[in-house]
Structure formats: C-alpha cells, structure tokens
Amino acid sequence: MNWRAAASLFVVSAACYKIYIIQSAVARLSAVKIQIIDTQAHKGYNNRSAPGVKKGGIIKYLGNGGVLLKIVNSIKVFKHYSYLLQQLVSRDFKVKYKRSVLGVAWSVLNPLFTMIILNVVFSQLFGLGRSGAIKSYPVYLLTGIVLFNYFSEATNLCNGAVVGNFNLLTKVYIPKYIFPLSKVLSAAINLLFSLLALYIIVFEEAIRTHIEAANAMAVAPKAKETLVLVANQVNISWTHLLLPYDLICMIIFCIGIGLFLSALTVFFRDMFYIWGVVLTAWNYLTPIMYPESIIAGSRFEPFMSAVYKINPLYYFIKYARTAVLDNAVPSWQLHVACLVCAFAMLIIGLLFFRKKQDKFIYYI
C-alpha cells in the first residue's frame, strides 16, 4: 500500500512540475510577443513622417528610411517620452537622499570632506601642497574630485539601469535608452550641488592667498617668498565662465559610456564588479591627487604620458583646472580634445546600445 501511495505522489508531483514548466514558458513567450509587437509598433511609428514635414525635397531624396527622416522621428519619440524622463530623473534624485537627515547637503559635504582628508594626507604628510608645483592644492584637488565623482556616480548608476527596470521593459514599450540617460542626468544634478563645494574652497583660497600676499608685500616686497605668494594667488576671473563647456562635454561623454555599460551589463553581469576595479585604476591613472610634474624624469614617465593622451578624464579635468585655477583660456587643442572625446564616446555608446537592445528581452 505504501509503494502505491508513493507512486501516486510521484505522478502528481511530476504532473504539477510539468504544468509549472508549461506556464513559465507561456508567460515568457507572452512577454517576448508583447515586446515584439511594441517594437514593431514603434518602428511603424518611426516610419511615419513627422507632422508638418512634406515628403518632398531632401526627405524624398533620402527616402522613407533616410537619415534626416530618422533623426526627425527620433526627436519626435524623445519629445513623446520627455515627461517620463523627467519623472525618472526626479525619482532617482529623491531616492538617493530618502530618509537622510542632511539630504541634498551631502552633495556639498561629501566632496568637501574627501578633499579635507586627502589634503591632510597628500599636502601635509607628503608635502605636495608646499612643493610649489601646484598653485593651490585644495582647489587643484577638489576640481579633480568633483569631476571624477560625477563620472564614477553616473557610470555606476548606468551599470544596472536596464537590468534594474526589466519589469517595465517586459510589459510596455519604452525607449530603452531612457533609463541610462536618466541616471546620467540625475547624477548631473548632484554635480551642480558639488560645484558649490568647489566654489566655497575657491573663494576661501582667494581670500587666504591675497591676505598672505599682502602681508608679505608689507614686510619684504622684493623677497623671493613674497614673489611666489603673489604668483600663486587664487583669483576669480571671467575664465570661470568657460567651465560649462567642459561640464557639457563630460555629461555627453558619460551618456555615451553609460549607454555602452548598461547594454554590456545585460549580457555580462560581472561588469557590476569589474567596473569598480576599473574606476579605481582610472582614478590613480588620472592626475587628481598628484601633479603631472611628479612623474617627470621617473621610469614611469613614458607609460604615464601615453596614458594621459588616451585618457578622456585627463582632458576634462585639465580644462577645468586651466579655467578655474590658472585663470587662463584653455588651448584650442584642449577644446577640440574634450569635444572629440565626448562625441566619439557618444557615437560608440549609441551604436553598441542600438545593436544590442533588441536582445535585452532574452537576457533580463
């Protein structure tokens, strides 16, 4: 009797398991079907010309699948989902500081505390701030920290942008690039608050260096130390108005690398862990805490010089320091380098994301 009961229980269990497998397969096929239908509908939407655009002239010359028509329709789709983008950016920004006592103030305090710690370590202990190689080490350091922190935050958020929103992607059609784009823009809001920390230190250093130079001039106006203090004064000039160009280029660069990472992570989840190692290495290979002159004459000079040439963050940070700390207009080569790095990465990210996005549904 026991073996008959055991056999019956086995048959019932096998039947239940089979039903479960069939239901899971049906559910997955339904999700894929919904995604395919939405994608086809979206493609049909894109194949229609925008309102008010006649199919004559250049559009007729390029055809229904022409470049200009695709650009017009892409802009239409982006405008259609712009409200969703605003809501995602707002959600990400609010969630970051949810249940936090200080809230948004951490965007200002975090880079300030980091700068204070690193300033004590590298300036007071290792003497980088007193070597004369850097005009104002706190401003030099904080400029690099603010920009690199933005890059680190934006790319880390983009890593899981698509994977973390798989529930939406399997139910309704949403342009998939909206998710990494929202992460980069929400991090950009934090960047704006972090700039407050930068300018707090800029004004503090400007006041301090001018007072020190004035006192030295009163005591020994022709002394070598006095001339050094006068030359190393921090000033507020019109060149600070060039900083938005650098920030826009960096945001575009982060959008490109964010699109690339968000697509790659769908297929290769190890990127969650690998990217942290990459950021650590990238941090030390960029002159954030140390001056470029520190490697001059060392055995690492050829290697580091080559790394600087292919390091986009090097150009972005150098541009910001030239405008903010040196009060000089960056060279046209630096302008071009920032622009090329930004749009080259944007094109690479867009092409990779567009090629892989239709396969996301099978992996998330």
pLDDT one-digit tens code per residue, 75-96: 777 677 777 777 877 777 777 7
Domain layout of the chain by residue ranges: 2-47, 81-362
Q: What is the pLDDT of residue 32?
A: 43
Task: Using alpha carbons, list the distances in angstroms from residue 326 to 318, 320, 336.
Answer: 10, 9, 19
Provide the token pair at 92: 């990400």
Which region among 21-30, 111-120, 307-316 has the lowest average model confidence (pLDDT)? 21-30
Which region among 166-170, 229-233, 283-287, 340-344 has the lowest average model confidence (pLDDT)? 229-233
Residue 257 has pLDDT above 90, yes or no: yes
pLDDT digits 0-9 by tens, 208-238: 766 766 766 666 666 555 555 555 666 778 8
Query: Hey, is 112 helix, strand or coil?
Result: helix
Looking at residues 58-78, what average pLDDT do you find?
Answer: 58
Type of residue found at 35 = Q
**DSSP one-letter code for 50:** P
Burial 327-343 (b: 16+ CB within 10 A, else e): beebeeebbebbbebbe
- Place 41 in a pLDDT band, splitting at 50, 70 and 90: very low
Helices 243-267, 178-219: inter-axial angle, 10-degree rounding: 140
The residue ranges of DSSP E strands in the chain, in sequence order, are: none
Considering the entire predicted model, what is its pTM?
A: 0.76
Helices 67-80, 2-47: inter-axial angle, 10-degree rounding: 120
- Give the whole-angstrom CA distance, residue 287 versus residue 282: 10
The dihedral sign for the CA sequence 321, 327, 329, 331 = negative
Higher pLDDT, 78 or 38: 78
Q: Which residue has the tokens 């055991």?
A: 6
Q: Are 194 and 107 in contact (CB under 8 A)?
A: yes
Query: Hey, is 82 helix, strand or coil?
Result: helix
Average pLDDT, the chain: 75
Task: Using alpha carbons, list the distances in angstroms from residue 142 to 124, 198, 202, 298, 324.
Answer: 16, 6, 9, 26, 11
Please, which residues have CB within 8 angstroms of residue 177's CB and are 6 or more apart in sequence? Answer: 259, 350, 353, 357
Query: Nearest 5°: CA angle at 183, between 178 and 189?
Result: 125
Residue 245 has pLDDT above 90, yes or no: yes
pLDDT digits 0-9 by tens, 100-113: 666 667 677 777 77
Residue 286 has pLDDT above 70, yes or no: yes
Provide the token pair at 311: 């390091």
Q: What is the pLDDT of residue 278?
A: 92
